[in-house]
Chains A and B, each alone.
Chain A
Amino acid sequence: MNKIFFLIICSISVFYNAQQIHVRYLKVLSSFATTHEDLYIKNDQVISIQDSIITENKLTDSWTMAINIDNGKKPTKQYFVSDLSNDKSKDFFFTANVDSRSFFIYDKVAQPNWKIEENQTKTIAGYKCIKATGVFRGSSITAYFSKELPYSAGPFKFYGLPGLILDIRVDNMDHEIWKAETVTIDDKKLIAYKPQFLNNEKISLKDYVEAKEAHMNKLFKKVSDAIPPSSGKITSQNNQRFTVEQKYEWETEADK
């Protein structure tokens, strides 16, 4: 009798783990643009894929401008690869571009010190979610996760909660918002959880950030030099860190 019971438990466990979870998030990239991010989880493997299609808000056309700095190359999908381990810090590998160069970047992401507010709940994509707050690389963030989906994962590089993150956003920012639109429990799409980016340069996060910001500084100057003269005073406010990642670990350590 015990053997039968054990076999049943094992079968359920195997079936449950073999299921592929797919969450499709709407991601607000900037005040004027959105895209989608697809998170897949299967057998302790996690991959989040940001879509290559960007939707621009045409109503703001006269005073906004979106510039592709990859010399006309169309946006590509971006990948964030990790697993379901729930250590204090987790290994991530992600893709990014700088000045027409494609990178595959290693990043060790520290788990935010989450504060869970059990009495603050809301329903997202049909799942009851609980509020949690924390700080991620210098930004205060608010997340909603569901214990009904017992996976310590989320979009981008977010993790560390006792359930899947279905909504996460940076406090007091009108972008860097991920909100789940759909959740599919038994997704059938064939996903490569360990994609090989053989043509991408391998680089550390610190080297990537330095290369990106040096390139952006050159661009800001080039753009400032190119704008037409005006009888009035012209100013330029530059922001190299437009995203949730405002302060990296090596900068925090240097401050101490």
Chain B
Amino acid sequence: MKKIILLAAFGVAGLVSAKNAVESKVETKSKTEVKAEAKTEVGEEVKSPKQTCGVQVTYYSGGQVVGSQLLTSEQSTLEDCQKWQKGVRFALQIAGFWTV
């Protein structure tokens, strides 16, 4: 009877031990995946391409369109683009150009 109880105890201990081993393996794998994802994100940020940002200026004289000018610059983000667009509009107003 004692032998049977001892065998049963070893069996349970063995099972528990095996389960832990599986879990730790899974955990290790998931940690590796997260690291890989994080690396990819950092890589994308570094390579972020600049995009064309523009202001279309239309010139009026006596109510007629007499010309147009597309001013563009390369900007990394939408926020930078909007800042530059505002800067262009402000600079032209300061330079004495009247808006219609």
Contact = CB atoms under 8 A, between A and B. Distances in A.
Interface of A: 29-33, 35, 50-52, 54, 56, 62-72, 75-78, 95-99, 102, 175, 212, 216, 219-220, 222-224, 226-228, 230, 232-243
B82 interface: yes
B71 A224 contact: yes
Contacts of A175: 65
B64 interface: yes
B99 A75 contact: no
Contacts of B91: 226-228
Contact of A66 (B58, B70, B73, B88): B58
Given A63-B55, A72-B98, A232 B63 contact: no
Which interface residue of B61, B97, B100 has the most chain A CB atoms within 10 A?
A: B61
A29 B65 contact: yes
B69 A237 contact: yes
Contacts of A56: 100
Interface string B48-68: 001001111111111111111
Interface in B69-100: 69-75, 82, 84-89, 91-92, 94-95, 97-100
A223 B61 contact: no
B76 to A, nearest CB: 8
Contacts of A66: 57-58, 60, 99-100
Contact of B57 (A31, A35, A102, A223): A223
Contacts of B54: 63
A33 B58 contact: yes
A226 B69 CA distance: 13
5 contacts: A67-B100, A97-B62, A232-B53, A242-B66, A242-B67
Contacts of B61: 68-70, 96-99, 212
A2 B51 CA distance: 80
Contact of A239 (B67, B75, B88): B67
A170 to B, nearest CB: 13
B74 A242 contact: no
A212 B65 CA distance: 11
Contact of A30 (B68, B75, B95): B68
A96 B65 CA distance: 11
Contacts of A35: 63
Which interface residue of A54, A75, A97, A232 has the most chain B CB atoms within 10 A?
A: A232
Interface of B: 50, 53-75, 82, 84-89, 91-92, 94-95, 97-100
Given A223-B97, A227-B92, A216 B67 contact: yes
B63 A77 contact: yes
A236 B67 contact: no
Contacts of B62: 70, 75-76, 78, 95-97, 102
Contacts of B86: 62
A219 B57 CA distance: 11
Can you list the 6 inter-chain pairs with the closest CB atoms, starting with the nearest? A232-B74, A97-B62, A75-B63, A66-B100, A230-B73, A226-B95
A67 B73 contact: no
A95 B59 CA distance: 17
A62 B53 CA distance: 11
